[in-house]
Amino acid sequence: MLRPLLPALKLLPVLTLMLLAAPTAVQAEGGSLYAVELIVFRVSSPGGNEDWSALPPGRGFGNDSTRGGTPQVVRVLAPSDYRLASVDSTLRGSGAWRPIAHAAWIQTAANWGTHIGIGLSDVGINVPGLTGTVYLERATYLHLGMELTLSSGGIDYTIKEMRSVKFNERQYFDHPAFGVIAMVSPIRTEQPRAEQ
């Protein structure tokens, strides 16, 4: 009777290891922590053929839900902990783009559709003319969004976009006048061991 089950039982440890090694969807409990890092940069010399004041439609924000799950900033990271420092240096050296803000922090995520974000000043970004909010929301997948406005020369330039993201991948949010490069990384927390 056990003989037909033996091949399946031999595969069980292999399947278990594969499941443990595979990337998982975002955890459902509210205790998950994420490191968010972003660089905001602007064009050094705007071209004359763009309509710089055009307000793009919000992409990916959906409705104005107010369900629970308020995100919290746990800790603002020091520049020595930045993972995008080489990107910042490349932008500075390009001559075409000028970084105006660079910050990283650890936070919890809001529930998908809440549209409750973290203000730039809450993570130490206090650049004249730059205002806005960063959104990190979770459902089956993690979503990162920006609603940022850069005011310059009497014109307001806006980025308003939300998209699903993969861990440790650079994301680019753009506008002809300025842009954002961002990255989200999971923070591994030690699980308490069961007493034996």
Neighbours of 181 (CB within 10 A): 22
Within 13 A of 97's CA, how many CA atoms are on the CB side?
A: 21
pLDDT (tens digit per residue) in 4-15: 444 443 444 443
pLDDT of 186 higher than 80: yes
Token pair of 139, please?
A: 């459902």
Burial (0-12, 13-18, 19+ Cβ within 10 Å), 139: middle
For β-strands 110-111 and 130-138, DSSP reports them as: parallel
Which residue shows structure tokens 């660079």? 102
Rounded mean pLDDT of 36-57?
A: 73
Q: Comparing 188 with 22, which gets the higher pLDDT?
A: 188
Inter-residue contact 41 to 100 (CB < 8 Å): yes
Q: Structure pTM?
A: 0.73
Rounded mean pLDDT of 169-186?
A: 95
Strand partners, 57: none
pLDDT (tens digit per residue) in 49-75: 556 555 555 555 544 444 445 788 999
pLDDT (0 to 100) of residue 163: 94
pLDDT (0 to 100) of residue 126: 97
Q: Is 150 helix (H, G, I), strand (E, B) or coil?
A: strand
> In the predicted model, what is the mean pLDDT of the chain?
79
Token pair of 27, please?
A: 């955890």
CA distance 23 to 2: 33
CA distance 160 to 133: 10
Amino acid in position 66: T
Neighbours of 153 (CB within 10 A): 7
pLDDT (tens digit per residue) in 126-168: 999 999 999 999 988 999 999 999 998 899 999 999 999 999 9
pLDDT (tens digit per residue) in 82-122: 999 999 999 999 988 999 999 999 999 998 888 889 999 99
